[in-house]
Chains A and B, each alone.
Chain A
């Protein structure tokens, strides 16, 4: 799923500061699952902002709602009437939702979240980045563990010298995390596929990644026009 984090409340208060009538619109997909921007978070954030604005003596009228998937016009369109009555919309979707709403509606769409990465649920309350969306998957060769996303230097030919004695990576800002290449080595051992490590993985073609410019996927057979 796409994992996001709610922005600091101070920043959100500052964003909505000029407005008195705002729709707080969540998204019931990824960001609901990662507890950042679902219906529940909309309720909490709306209550917090109302309290703060009441304290400031500048009450705010907040409409609360959540759509199935903000990345899809189909689900946003039913909200048109409500959106058009607002001074602004605070979107609790990932950045995709904010872009999508902005393309369609002529009111300011404000981001309540910082969109972070594609992640897995490591355990309740912890999400970890495991895929970088590089556009050219090699997981079949690395035991299903991605060195592009999970190695701080996206190395392709084994671990650097910064592996701690316990097999964790020296680059970790939020607690220890295992070295991706130690994981790959262990996993390929279990699968009897360590041979994969002997050959040199060629330099990556980053043009399939963001570095080739903004990407788009087209499925001709699904196009309605033409």
Chain B
């Protein structure tokens, strides 16, 4: 992606991050429009392939947003997803992709403001990366 506005894919858990994104909208909080949300029933559904495919399809960054630790609707989906994200962060540099382009975040459904903040942070982080994808 060579556009000025980095394209970010956000894999969001239905029970927290997705609801938080919704809330951010209701509260009319600003966050970058290039954040594309994909709803997962739980971040535990995240497959490493989704992340790689997102990058292949032209994403500049991928964020995975799941419930706060201990609050997963399915008990441990968020913890497992985080492990997969960590493993992928190990793989990415070997493919020539900065690991900072992928991040896992925890938040609750009530944190609309935090969702907007994370989206801004992630966009800014990608902006600041020297090399482009």
Contact = CB atoms under 8 A, between A and B. Distances in A.
Contact of A10 (B49, B55, B56, B94): B94
A156 to B, nearest CB: 41
Contacts of A21: none
Contacts of B55: 51
B48 interface: yes
Interface in A160-195: none
A9 B94 contact: yes
B97 interface: yes
Interface residues of B, number: 12
Given A47-B56, A50-B56, A55 B95 contact: yes
A48 B91 contact: yes
A47 B96 CA distance: 13
A65 interface: no
Interface string A24-45: 0000000000000000100110
Interface of B: 48-49, 52-53, 55-56, 91, 94-97, 133
Top 3 nearest A-B pairs (CB, nearest first) are A55-B96, A47-B52, A52-B95
Given A50-B56, A55-B95, 11 more contacts: A9-B91, A9-B95, A10-B94, A40-B49, A43-B49, A44-B52, A48-B91, A51-B52, A52-B94, A52-B95, A55-B133
20 contacts: A9-B91, A9-B94, A10-B94, A13-B94, A40-B49, A43-B49, A44-B48, A47-B52, A47-B53, A48-B91, A51-B56, A51-B95, A51-B96, A51-B97, A52-B94, A52-B95, A52-B96, A55-B95, A55-B96, A55-B133
Interface of A: 9-10, 13, 40, 43-44, 47-48, 50-52, 54-56
